[in-house]
Every structure is written in C-alpha cells, then in structure tokens.
Amino acid sequence: MDDIKQVTHVTNIRLEDDLKSVVIIDQTLLPNRLEYISLANAEEMYDAIYTLKIRGAPAIGIFAGYCMFVLAGKISGEGEAFLAEFRRLKEYLNSSRPTAVNLSWALGRMERVAEANIKKPKAELLAALEKECRAIHSEDIEMCRAISEYGLSLLKDGDGVLTHCNAGPLATSRYGTGQGPLLLGREKGMNFKVFADETRPLLQGARLTSFELSRAGLDVTLICDNMASIVMKNGWVQACMVGCDRVAANGDVANKIGTSGVAILAKHYGIPFYVLGPSSTIDMSCKTGADIKIELRPPEEIKTKWYAQPMAPEGVKCYNPSFDVTDNSLITAIITEKGICRAPYGKSLAALFG
C-alpha cells in the first residue's frame, strides 16, 4: 500500500475462492504488518469482530454478510431446520458488538434472502445468499464514493481537517466515509493538512488513519486526543470530519469514544463538524441517541494494552465505553450517499430515509 490507488482500492474483505471462508486484513497488526487471515467458522468470525481484527461500521456489515453465506454453506439441514440454524448463527454474530447498526442491518438482509429462498433447492438458496453478500459489498463501494464526493464539496484545497478514529478504506470499502473526501481530493490533485487524533484506547487514528492517509500522500499530523483543542485554537483546523456507527432519526450520532468531545471543541472554536456515513448506518427506528446501546470494553485496553508494564494499579476501577453520542445540535451536517442533511435532522433525514 504505497500509493493512492493502492490505498483506496485495497481488498480488505473478500470471499475465499473456494467459498468456504472469509479473508480479511487483520487490522490489529497494522501498521507494522499487513497480513491476511482466513476465517472459516462462527467462533473465529465472532472473535474477529470482537477483537477488532475487522472493524469500522460498514466493514463489519460487509464481513457479516460474507460470513453468513460461508456458514450457510456448512449447514446440513433443509427447510425449517436450515432456517433455525441460520438464525442461531446470525444472532451469535450479532451479539459480538452492539453499537454499529451495520452489523444487524447486514445480518437482517441475509436472513430475509434465506427466508425468501428457503423452498428452493440448496444450490439456488446458496446462490441467492452469495449474490446478496456481494451486493452489500458493491453497494458500499458506490455509497463511499458518493459520500466522498459530497464531503469534498465542503472543503477547499489546503484546508486543515481534523479527524477522529478511522473511517477510511479499512473501515469500509474503497474511499471510506470520514476520510473519503481527503482521499478523493488527493486523487484529484488537492492536498489538506490532516490532524489525526490517535484515538485512545485502541489507537485506530494512530495505527490506521495516519497509516492510510500518509500512504496516500496526504500531509498528516498525528496528535494525542487531548491536543485537539490546541490545534483548533491555533487556527489550523477548518473542518472536522468523522464517520459514524449509528445515526438516530433525530440526528444524534454514535461514533468512536471521544467524538462528542471533538464536536464540543469545534462548536467552541466555530469550526464546522461533519459526520459522514452511508444509509446502512442510519437507524430511523432509533428515535434519539439515548436509544443507542453503547459497548463497554475490558479495562485491560486502558491499563495494560500497548505497555511493557501495567500503567495503572492492578485493582483500579476503569470505565471503558467504546463509543459516545454526539448531540445533533453540535453537528453542522450529516453527509450521506443520498445528499447532505442539515438541521433540523428529524426532517432532513426523514426526507431522504423516511
């Protein structure tokens, strides 16, 4: 991955040629090693999502679609027995991470295709499932491209852009969402001064965003999360752009922990704060951010991970929410593949997704 095309066209998720496993880039090894792993059973697939070998809301959805197809090929029963086992596996994968709606969205699509084709011969049922999981992937490629075009229309060449977590090609497909406009702009010969929050505790900004964007030839500066205020105060940031894991019908947005703090700072300094995401991340059944389940993760991610020695006393209590909700009043616009939504979000989101 050492030029723009290689970054924006990386194959981060695919079916193995024999259709018996799903191949992904193990994101936990980046930026030091670019390694592909092959996952053939439900336990390995669950583990890959839970441990963030595959991560980023759209990528989790794409992966889950492929997983259900591979697992369906290994179910021996037919008819109701097949559906019962298919649903059990679907619920199992769905329980791996609760916040990104793309997971249940993609699993739901696969389940509906299984139900609609259950009376057909097994080969036809499997062909329908394969078609659906490939469609989930190719639709995401189209959506990311459109989101990137809309997002780019909000930037000027040379702008300083602060981003949080990773919403680039690894987290999606091709250009990404939150980082898509930057990559697309670079491809068109523009440049930006990007500030990438390192994104504690799992360092997606340091390990993945700064890796992808610098490989694409963008001017990237990595900062610790608590440095966002000073770079904004210095006048170095003209826009913030982030991805999202679930957008409620009123425009409240769940995204990586720390996002709401960035939005509050941006409001203070009068900097536009943009959220970018595909329709698969918009959950019109979720009224407000208060209805979004926030994933809690183990204390080791704060206390011991990344350190040669523990960096906190052994028994100390930790609170490790993986996401937070940004209030819609802090968001300048939500950029989707169907267009740019602005406040009042209840109306603008319903007009495109109602």
> Which residues are part of the catalytic machinery?
245
- The torsion angle over the Cα atoms of residues 186, 188, 190 and 196, rounded to 10 degrees, is -20
Q: Which of residues 258-317 bind ligand MRU (CB under 6 A)?
A: none
| 60 vs 340, beta carbon nearer ligand MRU | 60
Instruction: Decide if residue 243 touches ligand MRU (CB under 6 A).
Output: yes
Shortest Cβ 18–ligand MRU spacing (Å): 29
Which residues, at least 6 apart from 178, have a Cβ–Cβ distance to it below 8 Å?
163, 164, 165, 167, 168, 241, 242, 243, 244, 275, 276
Shortest Cβ 100–ligand MRU spacing (Å): 6
| Helix-helix angle 79-94:57-72, to 10 degrees | 150
Whether residue 348 contacts residue 342, with contact meaning beta carbons closer than 8 Å, is answered with: yes
Instruction: Decide if residue 201 touches ligand MRU (CB under 6 A).
Output: no
- Residue in the shown chain whose Cβ atom is closest to ligand MRU: 243
3-state secondary structure 262-300: HHHHHHHHCCCEEEECCHHHEECCCCCHHHCCCCECCCH
Q: Identify the burial level of 94 via C-beta atoms within 10 angstroms of its C-beta, where 0-12 means exposed, 13-18 middle and 19 or more buried.
A: middle
Q: Which of residues 91-150 bind ligand MRU (CB under 6 A)?
A: 100
Site string for ligand MRU, 144-183 (x = CB under 6 A): ---------------------x-x---xx---xxx-----
Q: Per the structure block, which two tokens stand in for 125?
A: 């049922």
| 90 vs 97, beta carbon nearer ligand MRU | 97
CA distance 189 to 88: 49
* Residue choice 58, 65, 160, 185 for contact with ligand MRU (CB under 6 A): 58
| 323 vs 345, beta carbon nearer ligand MRU | 323
Instruction: Decide if residue 251 touches ligand MRU (CB under 6 A).
Output: no
Whether residue 187 contacts residue 148, with contact meaning beta carbons closer than 8 Å, is answered with: no
Instruction: Decide if residue 322 touches ligand MRU (CB under 6 A).
Output: yes
Shortest Cβ 282–ligand MRU spacing (Å): 13
> Number of residues in contact with ligand MRU, rule: CB under 6 A?
20
Sign, CA dihedral 171-174-176-180, equals positive
Letter for the amino acid at 284?
A: M
* Residue choice 12, 148, 250, 255 for contact with ligand MRU (CB under 6 A): 255
Instruction: Decide if residue 248 touches ligand MRU (CB under 6 A).
Output: no
Instruction: Decide if residue 57 touches ligand MRU (CB under 6 A).
Output: yes
Give contact residues for ligand MRU (rule: CB under 6 A): 52, 55-58, 100, 165, 167, 171-172, 176-178, 204, 243-245, 255-256, 322
